[in-house]
Amino acid sequence: MDNEILFREIPREKKKRRKKHLMVRFLAVVAIVLGIVAFLFSPVFNVRQIEVIGNQYYTDEEIINMSGARTGVNLLFHPGKKDIEKKLSEDPYFEKVTVGRKLPATLTIEVKERQQVAAVVYGNGYVVIDVDGLVLRTTDTDPKLTILTGLTLSKIKGGEKIQAVEKQTLKTTLEMVSTMRKGDFYFKKIEMSDRYITAYIFDTLIVKGTPKQMKSSIDQGDLQKVVNKLYKNKTRRGTISLGEHNYISFSPAF
């Protein structure tokens, strides 16, 4: 009888030990998890540095101020990522904004800026646009860009494409400006009319033709060759005329 009672008590003791071990393990896991959470929320991961990447037009300091990014906040859980991206995306100059992290304490703001390529004369000021005609800003001072004149503007709104009565002329001229930049070429000013444009290399050295002709001539490098030859001859006055089939002529008359 005694042996039978002893035999029955042994499994009960094992069950109690097993439950105790499971509880110890559970508490250990909880303690580890709480320790990890406490570590992640510790000052070790508070933002101490804000790094700006990819900017050209705006300075690092300007972008940080515009974004509202702050040091001292937790990098992992409360960096304010969405707010930063939203605030910067409201500025037309930013085509794309990405906020990231560099452990343990650096917040990164990577931007892709739209490039200002020209300025349209508007009253006594200028409307600065990118290669797609998107309005980036307005200014009363010379933006030191290619100046476009002869357009009748019908709509100007930051972050939207500029609208002009001469819609097709503007479109083809901007295509030419894009080609001009890729071909490492620069015009001080471009005067537009219904069909032809007059582009100023200097105040007294001009190129006349259609936007399509200029685009083709710059694409093939022909216009650059003519201008370089004039530079070497110290010619700073005259008219370069473009024609069909990449025909180019020069007259010293201005």
Average per-residue pLDDT for the chain: 88
Listed by start position, the domains of the chain span 45-113, 116-251
pLDDT at res. 22: 73
**Cα torsion 191, 175, 133, 95: sign:** negative
Q: Which residues pair with 251 in a beta bridge?
A: 239
**What is the third-level CATH fold of 45-113?**
Ubiquitin-like (UB roll) (3.10.20)
User: Rg of the chain's alpha carbons, rounded to an integer?
Assistant: 33
The reported pTM is 0.80
Answer for the pair 99, 79: CB distance below 8 angstroms, yes or no. Answer: yes
- HSE-CB at 33 with a 13 A cutoff on CA atoms is 6
pLDDT tens-place string over residues 168-210: 889 989 998 988 888 888 999 999 987 889 999 999 999 999 9
pLDDT at res. 117: 94
pLDDT tens-place string over residues 121-143: 999 999 999 999 999 999 999 99
pLDDT at res. 9: 54
Rounded Cα distance between 202 and 136, Å, is 26
Rounded Cα distance between 134 and 197, Å, is 21
SS3 content of the chain, % helix, strand, coil (to 5): 40, 30, 30
Rounded Cα distance between 127 and 135, Å, is 7
The hierarchical CATH code for the domain 116-251 is 3.40.50
Going by C-alpha positions, the residue among 128, 223, 114, 228 that lies closest to residue 176 is: 223
